[in-house]
Every structure is written in C-alpha cells, then in structure tokens.
Amino acid sequence: MLTEALRSLTVEYHNYPDVFPVVEDDRLDAVLPDSKTELRRELDAWVGESPFSIFTADRLLAELGELPRDFDAPKVPLSEIAGYSDLEHTAVRLVDQFNSLPWDYELYVRIPHDVGLLLEAGLGGQFALTDSMEFIAGTRIPEAEGSELHEVLAQRLGFESAKIFESAFYLRYTVQGYVGHLLTTTPLERLDSDLRAILGLLLAYKLVRTNAIVLDGSASGQRDCAQERRRAPARAATARTGGAPRGNSLPSGSGEVAWQT
C-alpha cells in the first residue's frame, strides 16, 4: 500500500515532494491497531491522529529537503530522484523508521532575558517546572553555542534567530514521540499548550508584559530561539499486540499487524 502511494508522489524543484497522496490515503493508517488499543493510543500520542501517514509524509519532506533546490527542475515522479528509484525499498525503510518510535527529544525555547535573570537569582541556573519541562541557563546546555533551530517550532513560536546562546535562558522540554520537521505532530501541540500555560503564569505574576513572549509570531516583542535536539531512538516500548512482544517495532505476521509496503 505504501509503495502504491509513493508511486503517485511527484517532486518539484528537485527537493519538494507533493506528499498529499500519502497524507490523504486513509488505507495507510487503517492497517494500524484499532483506536481503542493501547498501542494505537501510544501512536496517536507520539505522532497524531493519522500517525503513519503523517510520519511518512514528514520524513519524505525532511529527507528531500536536504537536497539542493533547483527552480528550473521539472516536476518528476519520486522514483526519478536519486536514492528513491526503488520505491519498495523506500517504503520498507520508512516503515522501519516508524517501527522505531518513540524517539527522544529535547526542545529548547528561549525566554525573555530579564525573566531568566530573575529566575536564576531566585532559584539557580537550572530547576524543574514539571516532569517534562525545566528552566535552564544557556551555560548549562552542552554545545549550546551555534545549535540549530527546529523549523516547525520556529514557525509556531514566531522566532527569528536560529541559534542557542550561552548568555541566554531557556525552557527545556523533554518529550517522546516524533517531532515533525515540516508537519505539526502531537509533541509540538503539547509544547505549544504548555508554553501558553507558563505564559499565563508569568503574566499573572507580572513578570512579563503581553508582548514579551511570542507564541504565534503576531506580536513585536522578543522572538528568539528554540532548538530541537534529537537523541538516539527511544527505549523499547512495552505495549504488546496479539500476545507477541512488540519490543521496538510493530509486530507482523498471523494474528498481528501486517504491514504492506
């Protein structure tokens, strides 16, 4: 099924695939476990309501986006792009990546400098806000100087700078799942919600003005930096399907989830 969907994909400018045939193919997610199962709830929490199609589309966008752009290049089938001539192999590779979920991430969001100085003076250079989010000074972030900005996070938060700096202060968000490069996934939606809650507290305690933090890029206040640091693929999941250990992959075979590539 995935191979069939890939055959209908075209690529513009040598590096921009039209992924709608994948995103809109309901059959790709229909082979996943039922929404009432623990495994499907995990997949939805890691990626979104259509986890496999969204994951596959975003991986293609990310991979091909690394190729040089050629505005004079004609629109061609995906199979004519170097490295994608064997669509069955491409489908298997994407399924293997999906099977390795969840992945571990650290997301960094820069906060107003004056707020950071206040928090550092009162509570130190690093402290936990929740189980998944903590305040941290840039000096305590390994290899912070020059770290790259995560593209989707930048767009959602309205940031202009693409770097992390040792002289700044950040919220570090630790999350499992899949953080989309060009498509929004559940971890980014959760981060957005948590950031708005924290902003509400800062406003309530009058630590920031309404234009001090930008969540949608519409204000003219501080627009700084967020960074996505993907660590190694996450630990093995513990859910089981059809009585067989799932380990770090979705099971296949009789009585279990059968992937068609």
207 pLDDT tier (thresholds 50, 70, 90): low
Residue type, 39: L
Structure tokens at 60: 């293609």
Q: Is 46 helix (H, G, I), strand (E, B) or coil?
A: helix
- DSSP character string of 92-148: HHHHHHHHTPPEEEEEEEE--HHHHHHHHHHH-SEEESSSSEEEEEGGGSTT-BTPP
Amino acid letter for position 155? Q
In contact, 9 and 77? CB cutoff 8 Å: yes
The upper half-sphere exposure of residue 143, i.e. CA atoms within 13 Å in the direction of its Cβ, equals 5
Reported as a single tens digit per residue, the pLDDT across 59-111 is 999 999 999 999 999 999 999 999 999 999 999 999 999 999 999 888 888 88
Which helix (H) or strand (E) segment holds residue 174: the answer is: strand 169-177
The answer to whether residue 55 scores a pLDDT higher than 80 is yes
Three-class SS state of 246: coil
| The residue type at 10 | T
- Better-scored residue on pLDDT, 203 or 77: 77
Give me the pLDDT at residue 61, please: 93
d(CA 203, CA 208): 6
pLDDT(168) > 70: yes
